Structure formats: C-alpha cells, structure tokens
Amino acid sequence: MINDLVLEPVGDDFDLAAISAHLESMKTAVRDPVDTEQFLMASDPITLREGAAERQQHPERVSYSLTIVAPTPRRILLAYRNMDTSPARAFVHWLRSQQDIRILDQDFNDFTQESTGDLDFIFGPAESAY
C-alpha cells in the first residue's frame, strides 16, 4: 500500500471547480478548516465530523482517520495513514472516470501501469465495490 499519492493529469489541467464540486457534494468530505484549499475525507460522516473538529482544536495535525486531498491544476496530493483506504480509492476511481491521470508515489515513481485494471496495487484488495 502506498500512503501518499500524487495524481497528475494526462493532457489538460485538472478541473478544480469540478473536483471541488464533487468533494463538496459528498457526505464524507469537507474543506479543511485550517487550509481551505484542501479537503478532508473519511469513511463515514461521524469520523469526518470528529476529525474536522480535532483539526480545528489542533491545527498542527490531521487525524490518522482522515484522508487529505490537496488539489492544484497540475497535481493532486492524496495522503492517508489509515488502513481504511476506501475514501482515497473512491476518489481516485471517480477522478479516473473524469480524465486520464498518472498515479505516482511520494517519490514520483509512476504506478499508472500497475493500476490500469483496478486499484488493488495502490490500495490493497478492495473490501467492497464502490
């Protein structure tokens, strides 16, 4: 399992408005109260609410139960420390349905080819379909 991903568009820049709208429409994602340019995601609304509240109380850290999504036009950083990879997996699955992307690790090693069929190489076996 790779814990920090860098997602890059193949061709045109990412549509930040569409990405933000998608994340804002989810019950399990919210803008980071400390850094409003990024989002926090969790597997369920309660974990998200508790993690976001903790983030506000302690702005120097992000709960391990949360996934960070930091989008820019040319790169999206996706960081998670939790064994529950379903929020990150679902986001990458959605993003790949929108446009062609490259999937890199934190050292910029390209794992796009290894994740062509499914995302198990990146996230481990899926517990359920998304």
Q: How is the chain split into domains, by residue range?
A: 4-114
Q: The whole model's pTM is what? A: 0.89
User: pLDDT in tens for each of the 130 residues of the chain?
Assistant: 567 899 999 999 999 999 999 999 999 999 999 999 999 999 999 999 999 999 999 999 999 999 999 999 999 999 988 888 889 999 999 999 999 999 999 899 999 999 888 898 888 887 654 4
Do residues 96 and 10 make contact, with C-beta atoms less than 8 angstroms apart? Answer: no
Q: How many CB atoms lie within 10 A of CB 36?
A: 8
Strand partners, 40: 30, 68
Q: What is the pLDDT of residue 1?
A: 52
